């Protein structure tokens, strides 16, 4: 028996197969959900900002504090893991799997490159006087935060406030790029 599908029937099959393949491919990506809230900051006009992000079984909380003119440079970063039906304080290395050393190596390479680029830049070189080298970082040394569909790994070098713009490095990845390193 030979069955011939009409153009309309083939179009419907094509659309259904496309939707099914799209659903399967997007279902495999990790979901990142973030919320932000403002907290009163004593008598200050500028609030404390709290950003909470959830990815897999982990919660990241970034609390940012304004300086006396309303700039948000100082922040605290915390990570929690979901264990026994509640979140418990954790460290960055607990979020990532046994291959995390590969990710840390990539991050360190990018940080070193940025540092060398800054040393070669006459506009910021003076800020780096006295900073002869930067360390090789471990996963727990990074401040981790999220922006849209990116994960950010940040370090600070302890430079003065005049050099705040070049005081450290932020290495960013799309969430899909680090997915293979997450537990």
Q: How far apart are CA 71 and CA 124, in angstroms?
A: 21
Residue 67 has which token pair? 């300086």
Q: Do residues 87 and 121 touch, judged by C-beta distance below 8 A?
A: no
pLDDT digits (tens, 9 = 90+) for 151-173: 999 999 988 878 888 899 999 99
Residue 100 has which token pair? 């995390």
Residue 58 CA to chain centroid, in angstroms?
13
DSSP structural state of residue 182: B
Residue-range domain boundaries for the chain: 32-181
Residue 55: what are its φ and ψ, rounded to 5°?
A: -145, 125
* pTM for the structure as a whole: 0.81
pLDDT digits (tens, 9 = 90+) for 109-154: 999 999 999 999 999 988 998 888 899 999 999 999 999 999 999 9
- The helix/strand/coil state of 52 is strand
């Amino acid at each position: 028996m030979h069955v011939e599908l009409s153009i309309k029937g083939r179009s419907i099959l094509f659309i259904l197969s496309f939707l099914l393949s799209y659903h399967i491919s997007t279902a495999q990506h990790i979901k990142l959900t973030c919320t932000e809230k403002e907290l009163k900051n004593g008598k200050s006009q500028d609030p404390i900002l709290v950003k909470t992000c959830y990815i897999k079984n982990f919660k990241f909380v970034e609390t940012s504090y304004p300086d006396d003119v309303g700039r948000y440079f100082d922040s605290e970063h915390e990570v929690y893991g979901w264990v026994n039906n509640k979140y418990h304080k954790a460290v960055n290395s607990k979020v990532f799997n046994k291959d995390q050393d590969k990710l840390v190596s990539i991050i360190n390479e990018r940080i070193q490159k940025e540092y060398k680029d800054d040393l070669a830049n006459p506009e910021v070189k003076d800020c780096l006087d006295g900073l002869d080298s930067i360390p090789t970082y471990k996963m727990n040394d990074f401040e981790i935060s999220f922006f849209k569909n990116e994960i950010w790994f940040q370090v600070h070098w302890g430079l003065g406030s005049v050099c705040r713009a070049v005081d450290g490095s932020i290495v960013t990845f799309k969430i899909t790029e680090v997915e293979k390193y997450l537990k």
